[in-house]
Structure 1
Amino acid sequence: MENAEPDALQARGADLRALAVAAIDISASVRRKSLEHTGVAPLPNGVLDILRVIEDHPGTTVAEVASRLGRQFSNVSTQLRELVALGLVTRTRDAADKRYVTLHPTAESLRIKTLLETAWADALATAAAGLLPGEQAQIQASLPALQRLAALLEEPE
């Protein structure tokens, strides 16, 4: 009986590792397959991650984006310049404190977000059509837990 607890922890660890690998594999495949039909120029994953934080948290700062992504301020700032140059993000200086800059997605950014999210859903729908009905139901039933897990992982450390 003494080994039951370590065995359960080891099995749980293996399950979580399998979930992490599946999530990474699904994400990479969905991003790759969805770009084929959108006409959107591909953005590096790191830049896309920054854009998604800004879209999900309009008015955030560079420091907050860096914290959320666990990246260096200087690296985020460099990649942010690319997003500004592409017309996907605007910087707004605070009227009271010019040092304080907030970041906002542009209308073009939000248009692309909708386009990409629709393409991602289409890629998943195409793949999910190959699953058994019970497997499709399992994925549907797990969606609230996966969304909650994503929210917990998004929180800054």
Structure 2
Amino acid sequence: MASLSTTGQQPDTDKSRELAVAILDISFEVHRKSHEGTGILPLSSGLLDIIRVIERHPGITVAEVAARLGRQLSNVSAQLRELVALGLVTRTRDVADKRYVVLHPTSESQRIRTVLERAWAEVLESAGSRLLPAEREQLAASLPALERLAGFLAEPE
């Protein structure tokens, strides 16, 4: 994204920076506040990132996960051992090429995702209820653009 400017003129890097900071702040607070009352063992952001990649790309390899996250293969491998031990990810040999291990989410990781997504929504709804009605409408109207932006950001580089 070169700019958040609507005029097509000089890129507004300050607005892009402000948006990035706001998104990261929201993400941090939603993650921090959402585990209460879920009965789910809090997982680090790093582990959740790996689970999210595997859920979006079942059958992905360890190297592909590391590349998508921009992390060292050895670090991802260590975190995957933890996720396998927790019963959140399975590792199996690729049917087409037995040299590769492919990763799949388990039904437990999908259950946890569902519970967490519900908790994330509750945290946002609670904070959002303090916004003005027009601000809530602005956020709702921006959802399609934010989803497209997330898709662009998720594309491999």
With normalisation by structure 2, the TM-score equals 0.91
Which structure ranks higher in relative contact order (CA pairs < 8 Å, sequence separation ≥ 6)? 1
Q: Distance in 2 between matches of 1:47 and 1:119?
A: 18
Identity value in percent? 66
Q: Which residue of 2 aligns with 1:72?
A: 72
Unaligned runs of 5+ in 1: 1-6
Q: Secondary structure at the match of 2:92?
A: strand
Q: Which residue of 2 aligns with 1:4?
A: none
State the 1:37 CA deviation: 1.9
Q: Which residue of 1 aligns with 2:112?
A: 112
CA RMSD, aligned part only? 1.2
Q: Distance in 2 between matches of 1:26 and 1:96?
A: 41
Q: Secondary structure at the match of 1:35?
A: coil
What is the identity, as a one-letter code, of the residue corresponding to 2:55?
E
State the 1:96 CA deviation: 4.8
Residues 74-111 of structure 1: CA deviation (Å, up to 9, x unaligned): 11111111000000000110245322111000010000
Residues 46-100 of structure 1: CA deviation (Å, up to 9, x unaligned): 1110011111111111111111111111111111110000000001102453221
| Higher Rg of the two aligned structures | 1
Q: Which residue of 2 aligns with 1:33?
A: 33
State the 1:115 CA deviation: 0.2
Q: Distance in 1 between matches of 2:72 and 2:156?
A: 14
Alignment size in residue pairs: 149
Q: Which residue of 2 aligns with 1:91?
A: 91
